[in-house]
Structure 1
Amino acid sequence: MSKRIALAIDSLAGGGAEKIVLTLAREFKRLGHEPHILVLSPHCDYALPADIPVHFCFDKGQRHIDGLLTQHLAVKKVKQWIASLSSLLGAFDVFFSNLDRTNLLLTKAQVQPLYCVIHNAIEEELKRELKLGPLAYLAMWRAKKALNHQQLITVSKGIENDIIQRKRIQPASIQTIYNPFDIDAIRHSAELPNIEIPDGDYIIHVGRVAKQKRHDVLLSAFAKMQTQLPLVLLCNKPRKALALAKKYGVADRVICPGFQDNPFPWIKNARLLVLSSDYEGFGNVIMESLICNTPVVSTDCPFGPNEILTQAFAQFLVPRREPATLADKMEQALVAYPPIGDTDIFRKIDIEYSATQYLKLIP
């Protein structure tokens, strides 16, 4: 029986969670269901699907909708928005909520049946916000506290285990469903021509310019390498990235083409992909790189990389915040890397397998 599925998220900015929501929606549609993408704010870097309805709640100029003083108004609007959609379309069989703001507002609006998808390392996010000050920490903590007594889906076993062991959050239920990847579509997209891609060998990093991604560690490691290859940074703030590259003396070897809706030809043609993050939820780009048959070196950050880079690939996990070690492993990977095949993790992240795990949760 076809199910009406709501996939809710903060925005469709160019991040990993946003890409996962779009991927899941397409697969639910292919499997004969009726997905709807519910977006709080109309910030869209990704192209909107032509055959899947996308609904926006707040106007472009509305900010701080989940602030302490404005939250009650936002919750009221979300309730009215969902009631209006349900009246027009029929009741939704399930809501899959993604990212902090959406999780907070949908839980406060008492939307049911609801599953909150956790895309990042909760304790690491809280540590980061604490460094920014008490107000930032309290805002983050409000969003995390809203997960109490909710049904949670985590995108890696590391996140699930951390929540269970820390006991900061007491979920009604919790389980891991790995992020879905359309392996055939990624490999097809990787073959599409792109005249912007540099001729010759290069190293690549894909990720927004944010403290979590540690571009400072990446560029420091890059500066220490003896191999003088260019570094391509696919990111959302190329000017900021180039300014940071200048600080580390490598701006002349860094290429910043900006955000790419299709990063896969860039990844496929690279000699090596590097992840330098302090923390992740899963590390989507690692999986995408392996699918494109491109070697990966990654920090062994919580969580995800050590669930992907296992067995022979585990030697290319390095401690966080160690540029010299990262540089050494990058050099090693350029010389010799294990053959990349469809290992067990490929089965677990297969798009139909992941989507089926979600569908089993629908009442």
Structure 2
Amino acid sequence: MEQSSFQPLHAGILIPSVSGGGAEKSLLTLARSLIERGCRIDLLPLSLKGQYRTIIPDGARLYYRRRWRADGQLLRYCRAHGIKVVALPVNPLVALTAGRSLRRAFPEINLRPSEVRHAVAIAHYIREMRPQILVAGLAGPNNAAVLAAELMGRCLPVVASIRNNVAKAADYRGRRLALARTLMPRAEAVVAISQGAAREATKILDLDPERVHTIYNSRPVEEIRKQAEEDVLHPWFDSAEYPVILSVLRDAPQKDWATLVSAFGHVRRKKNVRLAVLGDLSEQYRKRVLVLAESLGVEKDILFLGFDENPYRYLGRAKLFVLSSRWEGLSSILIEALACGTPVVSTDTPYGPAEILENGRWGRLTPVGDAEAMAQAILDSLAGDTVLPEALRRRAEYFSMERVLADYEALFENLIANSKIDNERNTTAKV
């Protein structure tokens, strides 16, 4: 790989929390890679909670709004690893003044007090820490970044991001859609994690196409492969007689557990096979899954693994990975499965899977919600009609951090070079 002329920068990265799904994980991975390139990276979660504390990169700084209830385990982890944690103050009088200013600037949207307080805290961070650029992920952080930059006189470029299907995701409905339509066009750039998501967002949010950039989620392919070699203690993964299908679910209609379980029921009637499910699911959600499983007579063949900091050891030992989503922004878990050399079956959901799998070249695609088609694709895959593991691993390298990081670096450098920030920034701040 050629040596680039990239100049290390100072960036603030806004994330919803240090938990959640692939979006948060991808942003934390980006932060770590930028730090390794010599950048100063500040993380600004809107909620100081999360299960991904172990992938907070060493060398990052964590800024959060004072008076939040913080995750004790997260704080202890940060202290143990030398990660500085800073509370951002929000003066009530400043928040009141800022709210009036923002409501005058955006009279068409009804800003809530919590949204104003988020913006004030981040504006304080901008004024004190003086980052060169703000990078935001998901709807809440996107809005907070744009509002904070507005309060600071738009003194630095904002990179918002689209990490889900705007036409489907709850973050873009009703009032939230009105917020996004008003605020997202004011970002200097918008990164979408798939071409389909980019087209959809440009149309629905009325974005300038020249400001919209497609940069796929990256995955640390070599690290995934190493972690996939770690031991799995559960006996299911040692059985040759009952191969394991692996999937990932969370408490959201998007993941369509009913199609997954129904398809598994069809497969189980024809073949000895088991289903293992990763994900931090509520007890109520598990019960709903098991009610359907019991009606199909397969409840004893389903295992809930819960949240695991290293899901790749399961991916590496599963016979097949299955994604049943109704929609996605990209679906990083498919990339991770490919990195482990594990065959995949996925719904042809908008958007992402078809782009990752190149319209079925690297794995089977089935219609959304079609349990019978999914079952047949699973049976065909279990019969051995799949791409060789080494070819799947090579496909995953297309989404490696080295490749994706170059796109981010070029975008950041261009935005900073073209911004109108002078040496005496923040002179037009409203707070």
Q: TM-score, normalised by structure 2?
A: 0.75
Q: State the partner residue of 1:161.
A: 199
Q: What is the aligned partner in structure 2 of residue 133 from structure 1?
A: none
Matched, 1:338 2:387: yes
Shift of 1:311: 6.0
Relative to structure 1, the CA distance from residue 94 to residue 168 in structure 2 (aligned partners, 3 Å threshold; closer, same or farther) is closer
Cα distance change of structure 1 residues 137 and 58 upon mapping to structure 2, 3 Å threshold: farther
Pair 1:53-2:91 in alignment: no
Q: Which amino acid aligns with 2:329?
A: G
Structure 1 360/206 Cα, relative in aligned 2: closer, same or farther at 3 Å?
A: same
- Residue aligning to 1:287: 335
Aligned to 2:289: 245
Instruction: Check 1:224–1:265 CA distance in 2 against 1; reply closer, same or farther (3 A cut).
Output: same
Task: Report the equivalent of 1:214.
Answer: 256
Give the conservation status (yes or no) of the 8 Å contact 1:216–1:244.
no
Aligned with residue 179 of structure 2, among 120, 138, 142: 142
Match of 1:31 in 2: 37
Residue 359 of structure 1 deviates from its aligned partner by: 1.4
Task: Using the TM superposition, give the Cα deviation of residue 238 of structure 1 relative to its aligned residue in structure 2, in angstroms.
Answer: 5.4
Q: 1: CA distance between counterparts of 2:33 and 2:317?
A: 27
Alignment of 1:95-106 (within 5 A): 95-106=134-145
Contact 1:245–1:254 (CA under 8 A) maintained in structure 2: no
| Greater Cα offset, 150-159 or 242-251 | 242-251
**CA shift in 2, pair 1:80/1:283, >3 Å:** closer
CA distance in 2, matches of 1:57, 1:287: 34
Render the CA deviation track for 1:291-343: whole Å, top value 9, x for unaligned.
Answer: 00000000000000000112663661000011111111011111121224168
How far apart are 1:157 and its partner, in Å? 0.8
Cα-to-partner distance string for 1:183-226 (whole Å, 9 max, x where unaligned):
11110111122324633221000232310000111111111112
1:235–1:259 Cα contact (<8 Å) kept: yes
Q: Is 1:75 matched with 2:116?
A: yes
TM-score (norm 1): 0.88
State whether structure 2 residue 227 is matched by structure 1 residue 179: no
Unaligned runs of 5+ in 1: 130-135
Secondary structure of residue in 2 paired with 1:257: strand
Of 340, 350, 359, the match for 2:400: 350
* Deviation by residue 1:111-164 (Cα, 9 ceiling, x = unmatched): 6310101100101226x97xxxxxx63234423542124221000111112234
Counterpart of 1:209, as a letter, is D
Match for residue 86 of structure 2? none
Q: Aligned equivalents of 1:267 and 1:223: distance in 2?
A: 21
Letter in 2 for 1:71: R
Distance 2:182 2:368 in 1: 28
Report the CA distance between 1:77 and its aligned residue: 4.4
| Distance change (3 Å), C-alpha of 1:337 and 1:348 | closer
Whether 1:227 aligns to 2:271 is yes
Q: Judge conservation of contact 1:14–1:259 (CA < 8 Å) in 2.
A: no
**What does residue 22 of structure 1 align with?**
28
C-alpha spacing 1:332/1:20, structure 2 compared with 1 (3 Å): same
The alpha carbon displacement at 1:56 in A equals 1.7
- Provide the residue aligned with 1:258 in structure 2: 306
Contact 1:298 1:316 in 2 (8 A): yes
Amino acid at match of 1:40: L
User: Letter of the aligned partner of 1:57 in structure 2?
Assistant: R
Are residues 185 and 320 of structure 1, via their aligned partners in 2, closer, same or farther at CA, if it must alter by over 3 Å? Answer: same
Verify the 8 A CA contact 1:275 1:298 in the aligned structure 2: yes
Distance in structure 2 (CA, Å) of the matches to 1:204 and 1:347:
22
SS at match of 1:54: strand
CA distance in 2, matches of 1:77, 1:241: 31
- Worse overlay, 77-86 or 217-226: 77-86
Q: Which amino acid aligns with 2:403?
A: Y
Pair 110,326 (structure 1): closer, same or farther in 2 beyond 3 Å: same
Residues 54-91 of structure 1, C-alpha deviation per residue, up to 9 Å, x if partnerless? 222264459xxx9x87624532443344424652xx41
CA distance in structure 1 between the aligned counterparts of 2:395 and 2:186, rounded to whole angstroms: 30
Distance in 2 (CA, whole Å) between partners of 1:314 and 1:156 is 17
Q: Indicate conservation of the 8 Å contact 1:42/1:58, yes or no.
A: no
Amino acid at match of 1:155: I
**Conservation of the 8 A alpha-carbon contact between 2:134 and 2:159:** yes
Uncovered stretches (5+) of structure 2, i.e. residues with no partner: 1-6, 71-98, 100-108, 151-155, 417-431
